[in-house]
Structures are given as structure tokens and as C-alpha cells.
Amino acid sequence: VFNFAAGPATLPENVLLKAQSELYNWRGSGMSVMEMSHRGKEFLSIIQKAESDLRTLLDISSEYSVLFLQGGATTQFAAVPLNICKSDDAVDYIVTGSWSDKAFKEGQKYCKPNVIWSGKSEKYTKIPSFDDLKQNPEARFLHICANETIHGVEFKNYPTPNNKNGILIADMSSNFCSKPVDVSKFGLIYAGAQKNVGPSGVTIVIVRNDLIGNAQDLTPVMLDYKIHADNNSLYNTPPCYGIYMCGLVFEDLLEQGGLVEVEKKNKKKAEILYNAIDESNGFFKCPVEKSVRSLMNVPFTLEKSELEGEFIKEAAKESMVQLKGHRSVGGMRASIYNAMPLAGVEKLVAFMKDFQAKHA
């Protein structure tokens, strides 16, 4: 099938086949990766290679630590303020959709966050103009969600934090490794793996070294970046198999020519799909402002909304699955992450045209 799920999401077929081929016996070790000690030389080579390949992909300098953690991006909604600010620090959040809203709400427990811009009244279809942002110069950091998975809005460039610490923090869960990113612009980037780079269970944190080591006193050890950085993500048992899978995906992305090439493919897929929506004379609609439409998550509705159930059912019959929109917004959503082949998007577009011809 072509799987348009928002996450956990489709993974590259060659990566899954490679994992299958070494499932019982990883490279002559006689063990599955699931059976290895996380402190043994075999697993150490896996996690070190995964980190080094990720550093190559995103050109991450030695000024940053790369952590492979657990708990999903949701845990980072708490870990970020716990590590980066004190409980009475002011912090700025830009709220462009459900995920940045959740991050803000969790932040309220651990610092004094303020929403400096919200897209809620416009149903989260926009990204603010950076000139209009009223950042608090005293804020400890500025937090954004780089790509809102549910609403399909994506930052195409990033605001410059003008807080006195100059710290920009981004949740990149749903566009991580989908395009090159200048990591040096960020104090911290975090992402759940389960959209573009692996199975659920692994959360990646890229954090500037000078921001590590100041966690609030009540921070649980499992959320303290210093503990994980000092122990190379091996303080406790990490999600070994998930990290191994991420490593295979990083190898695959490098083999494709790196993120410049990956972005070209993603742009092409998104263009075909958005064009099909825009050229349907209103039969299909995407509510998101054109300039900030996500390359990863494409939400769309039908003018005749009573046909949406049929659209999803008929698409599934033709092997295109998981097209239902998020329960909070309805309609449809096609997630077209790195691993979605162009053929999947072409098939979806052909199906949309047929569906329209039948029902217009």
C-alpha cells in the first residue's frame, strides 16, 4: 500500500528489507539488535555511527550534543523549560497549531511562558510575519514548532530570537531531516523519530553545549540533558532497536545524496499534490496560506464534505491508506514524508481526478 499516515509513518522499503535481512543475526554477531547489551561493542558501534551520520546529514558542529532519548516530543515539552530556564524565567512561544499550543501549555508548569503570536483565530493556517512579532527581550528563549503536523503549516525560514540570550528552540518532529537546516541558528532542536527517520520510541535532541548543565533542581534524571550528554545517551537502557533503525534511515538519506537531494524530491511531491488541489476548481480545498504550506503534511477537504468518508474508503480500496484527517480538524490529510515515493503521490492525484470526475 501507499501509507499516508502522519506518524508512525511509512519507512523506506530498502531500509525495512535491510533490517529484515539482519533481524536474527546482526552482521555475524549471532544476535539480533534487540538482544544486544547496550554497552556491548556491537551496539556502541551502531549508536556512534547513527550519531555521526546524523551529524553529517545536518552538518552539526561539535558545539552541539546529539542525544537519543525516549518519551516522545511530548516529553521535550517539559524537558526544554526544565533544562533551559528557571521557573520564574519569561519565555516566548509562537503558537501556529496544536503542537506548539501543547508545548506552551506544558511549559506553563515549569516557567513563565507567553504566547507572542497565535494563529488560532485563523484556524492555524498561517505563520506570522517576523516583523510583527513582539518578542520579550527578557525572555529566556523563543519556541516554535517548525512544522505543524495536524494543520499543515511550516516555517520556510526562521525568526531571529531577539531575547537577550538569543536562543531559538524548535520542535521539528514532523519535518526533521526533510531538508537542510542551519543548526547553528538554534539553541536546541528536538524531534520524535516516527515520521521521517525511524520508528516511534526514539526522540532526538540536538542541543548547544553551553545550554547543558543548568537544569532546574526538580528535573528528573531522565529529563536532564547533562546526564544524557555525559553518558552519550547510555545513562540507562536506550531504545536500542529504534536507534538502529534511525541509523539505517540516516545511511539511506546519505546514499540519496543528503538533505539537499531529499528536499528536491519532497518539493516535487508536494507541488504535484497542492497543484491538484488548487486546480480542482474548489472541489478539493487546502485551507493553508500558500506560502507556508507544509511539504510533509497536506490537509485538504472536499467542497461536498458528505463525500469525505467515501473518498477515504475508495482510496483505501486502491491501496492508499491512512488518509483521514486528524480528529480535531476532519477532512483528509496526506502525509508525504521522505519515504513516500513519488509514485504514491502520483497515484493519489490520479485518484483525486477520477473521484472528482465521478462526483462533480
- Chain positions 135 to 164 lying near ligand PLP, rule: CB under 6 A, are 145, 149
Among 74, 136, 165, 232, binds ligand PLP (CB under 6 A): 74
Beta bridge pairs of residue 65: 207
Beta bridge pairs of residue 113: 91
Q: Report the alpha-carbon distance of residue 111 to residue 102 in Å, rounded.
A: 14
Helix or strand holding residue 45 (H, E): helix 41-58
Q: Report the alpha-carbon distance of residue 97 to residue 126 in Å, rounded.
A: 9
- Chain positions 90 to 119 lying near ligand PLP, rule: CB under 6 A, are 99
DSSP string, 239-302: -HHHHHHHHHHHHHHHHTT-HHHHHHHHHHHHHHHHHHHHTSTTSEE--S-GGGB-SSEEEEEE
Which residue number, 128 or 199, has a Cβ lying nearer to ligand PLP? 199
Min dist. Cβ of residue 241 to ligand PLP (A): 16
Among 73, 197, 205, 229, binds ligand PLP (CB under 6 A): 73
Helix-helix angle 41-58:240-255, to 10 degrees = 40
Among 7, 107, 187, 247, binds ligand PLP (CB under 6 A): 7
Binding mask 200-239 for ligand PLP (x = CB under 6 A): ----------------------------------------
Binding mask 264-303 for ligand PLP (x = CB under 6 A): ----------------------------------------
Q: Is 187 in the site for ligand PLP (CB under 6 A)?
A: no
Do 19 and 241 meet the contact criterion of CB atoms below 8 Å apart? no
Near ligand PLP by CB under 6 A, which window of 109-117, 171-179, 239-247, 307-315? 171-179
Which residue number, 9 or 276, has a Cβ lying nearer to ligand PLP? 9
Min dist. Cβ of residue 110 to ligand PLP (A): 17
Residues designated as active site? 99, 171, 195
Which residue number, 30 or 330, has a Cβ lying nearer to ligand PLP? 330
Q: Is 56 in the site for ligand PLP (CB under 6 A)?
A: no
Among 65, 173, 178, 335, binds ligand PLP (CB under 6 A): 173
Q: How many helices (H) and strands (E) does the chain have?
A: 9, 14
Do 143 and 100 meet the contact criterion of CB atoms below 8 Å apart? yes
Other CB atoms within a 10 A radius of the CB of residue 111 amount to 22
Place of cell 554497552: 39
Cα dihedral across residues 82, 87, 92, 96: positive or negative: positive
Contact residues toward ligand PLP (CB under 6 A) are 7, 72-74, 99, 145, 149, 171, 173-174, 192
